[in-house]
Amino acid sequence: MTVIAGAVAAVICAVLTVGILAGVRGHVADHRREQATTAALRLAYQIRGGNVPAELDARRHLVLQVLDERRAVVAATPEALHGPPLASIVPEVSSVYASKTLCPPAGLHGCMSVVAFRVYEPGGDWTVYAAADRTPWYVSASLFTFLVCVSLLATLLAGLWAWRTVDHALAPVDAIRAELTEITARRSGHRVPVPENRDEVRLLAEAANATLDRLDAALERQRSFTSDASHDLRSPIAAARAQLEEALMYPDEVDWPRTGRTVLQSLDRLQAIVTDLLELARLDAGKWAEAEPVDLGALVTIELARTERSKRVVTHLQEGVTVNGDRLRLVRLLTNLLDNAERHAEERVDISVRREDGVAVLEVLDDGVGIAPADREIVFQRFARLRDGRAKDANGTGLGLPIAHEIARSHGGELTIEDSARGARFVMRIPYGPGPRRGDDGGS
């Protein structure tokens, strides 16, 4: 930024310098031309008066010369007094004035602007030459040096101003960078300082802090998930180990078939937890099969025909409600919702499929005691199980509803619990058209 500011200032100064030199040069050239013309006219009047000295005196940068009718030098400034005529130009008879630039005039050095005047005399016309030094492009060394020094100073000041401004503007960014380098997985509670000025840097700091808030929340969920998963995995392992150790201590007094069935139940629970954990890991990683059109009504009909349910299931299916998605995962979502509803229903479970404003809706409603509004977000947390759920199914993993929730999110929709007159009402809404999201978009 400092280099760019300095370069821009240098270009501007260069343009201004050229403009000033051009303007001053034109003014100086006009002034010298006027001086030459004035001096030549003065000589013409002196010739008419007959009092022209042989050696003339003139201003600096001017050379004067007077020629008689034979073009012999009769008067001149010292440098042209004994030399040839300065120029060969002679004004026309009809004009007393002529001018020309010569490089150089005869007997002199350098380019000069020569002005010639015809003076009428009885014995013949005389000629007066006035030559003025041609103004160089830099006008004068002092002016050019002054302009160059001013330009360099202006460029330096612009660079220093840009450096100071950028350094002041980036100071909060440097503080944000320093704070971010201190943040690790174990020390994630830091927040970057937010500048007082309401500018882009403040927005950056606020966005960074919001990202760190989400990171902390994700890390906390990960720690909680790891703790809960470890506990739930240890429970069936510990139970099976205790059964086997007790049986081995008294092998002759143990009912081995019964022990085998008990250990097998613990292994079944362990397998269910591991299966659900793997499914959640795949959902978090966004791994999908190819998306395909799925008719939700047909999916419900096929799933109900495939399995038997202990409670009466009543369907309200609208035809043609189709979404793009992963069929197997949508089946998994429906199965998890049905298992949960069947576990808590008294006698009946209602399943509805319909369209609402371009959104496909799948609703599962049971006639149980329902879920309190304060617990409606808790049930979607991994390994979270309400007291009523633990009482009705002690072997549940606490991952069925979180998996269903993640499947809905990965399809661009949502799974929520809404109010109902009785029981728990789970409602999934998926927009038409978009297929499963891939990559990180599929995770939570």
Task: Tell me the domain boundaries of the chain.
Answer: 1-139, 200-283, 289-431
Output the pLDDT for position 73: 87
- Averaged pLDDT, 119-144: 84
Task: Give yes or no for residue 319 having a pLDDT over 50.
Answer: yes
- pLDDT exceeding 70 applies to what percent of the chain? 89
pLDDT tens track for 249-286: 888 888 888 888 888 887 877 787 777 777 767 776 66
Contact status, residue 78 vs residue 134, Cβ threshold 8 Å:
no
CATH 3.30.565.10 fits 289-431, yes or no: yes
- Averaged pLDDT, 67-76: 87
CATH 3.30.70.1140 fits 1-139, yes or no: no
**Which class does domain 200-283 fall in?**
mainly alpha
Q: Which of 44-53, 227-236, 289-298 has the highest mean pLDDT?
A: 289-298
Mapping DSSP onto H, E and C, the string for 30-60 reads HHHHHHHHHHHHHHHHHHHHCCCCCECCCCC
How high does pLDDT run on average in the chain?
A: 82
pLDDT tens track for 73-99: 888 888 888 888 988 888 887 778 888
Task: Give yes or no for residue 53 having a pLDDT over 60.
Answer: yes
Q: How far apart (Å, rounded) are the C-alpha atoms in residues 352 and 296?
A: 10
Output the pLDDT for position 284: 66
CA angle 106, 107, 112 (to 5 degrees): 60
Q: How far apart (Å, rounded) are the C-alpha atoms in residues 78 and 278?
A: 109
